[in-house]
Homo-oligomer: A and B are copies of this chain.
């Protein structure tokens, strides 16, 4: 009798046992920073999780800071990401590493881009964090590779693709996806206004597109 009572208690307790939700942190630059705004892709993911009653299973947070390059992520990783104790980290960086070469003379050498990126992945993987890598989308949406930074952006995207393979990380190839989307939806070869409002930062269509891509990959 006593045994049966104890067993019952255990069963009841177990049924109340709280399953810790999977924590996903988006780690990046201004694109990620704006992702938590009302129409941002992170906000959209949170809303869809709620609508699909999965907000108990997944907790999604942004850790984006405007102007960040790969080495900025490396510097603030402990404070801004590890401190959140994430299960999954999505790294989305690269636009400023390329763009700031022209804008401020302070971009990132391609070899150092790879070196810092590798070091960051290793640090996360050592903590058991699942790491997903994203290629940068666009700096200009023209589809004939005549946006000023296209050459370098393609080069850095390829570095990220290689890094994903080398480190067994899942890859989300926004560079490829955005280009294919723009080829279909930008017949006038416009500089912006298809997936982005300024060639770089997603507009409402872009945020919806990005949110869906992430949701389908990250949420089971």
Determine the residue in chain B with the shortest Cβ distance to A159: B146
Determine the residue in chain B with the shortest Cβ distance to A152: B148
**In the complex, are the beta carbons of A108 and B109 less than 8 A apart?**
no
CA of A116 to CA of B72, assembled, Å:
9
Cβ-based interface call for A104 (8 A): yes
**In the complex, are the beta carbons of A75 and B116 less than 8 A apart?**
yes
Q: How far is the CB of A150 from chain B (nearest CB, A)?
A: 3
CA of A152 to CA of B146, assembled, Å:
6
Cβ-based interface call for A107 (8 A): yes
Q: Which of B107, B140, B146, B153 contacts A106 (CB 8 A)?
A: B107
Q: How far is the CB of A43 from chain B (nearest CB, A)?
A: 29
**In the complex, are the beta carbons of B155 and A151 less than 8 A apart?**
no
Copies in the complex: 4
Q: Which B residues touch A151, using CB under 8 A?
A: 140, 145-153
**In the complex, are the beta carbons of B75 and A115 less than 8 A apart?**
yes
Cβ-based interface call for A74 (8 A): yes
**In the complex, are the beta carbons of A154 and B144 less than 8 A apart?**
yes
Q: How far is the CB of A99 from chain B (nearest CB, A)?
A: 10
Cβ-based interface call for A71 (8 A): yes
Q: How far is the CB of A103 from chain B (nearest CB, A)?
A: 9
Cβ-based interface call for A119 (8 A): yes
Q: How far is the CB of A108 from chain B (nearest CB, A)?
A: 6
Cβ-based interface call for A102 (8 A): yes
CA of A144 to CA of B175, assembled, Å:
13
Q: Assuming the A-B contacts A102-B101, A109-B104, are A154 and B158 also in contact, with contact meaning beta carbons closer than 8 angstroms in the complex? A: no
Q: How far is the CB of A71 from chain B (nearest CB, A)?
A: 5
Q: Which B residues touch A71, using CB under 8 A?
A: 71, 74-75, 116
Cβ-based interface call for A112 (8 A): yes
Cβ-based interface call for A38 (8 A): no
Interface residues of A (CB under 8 A from B): 71-72, 74-75, 100-102, 104-109, 112, 115-116, 119, 140, 144-155, 158
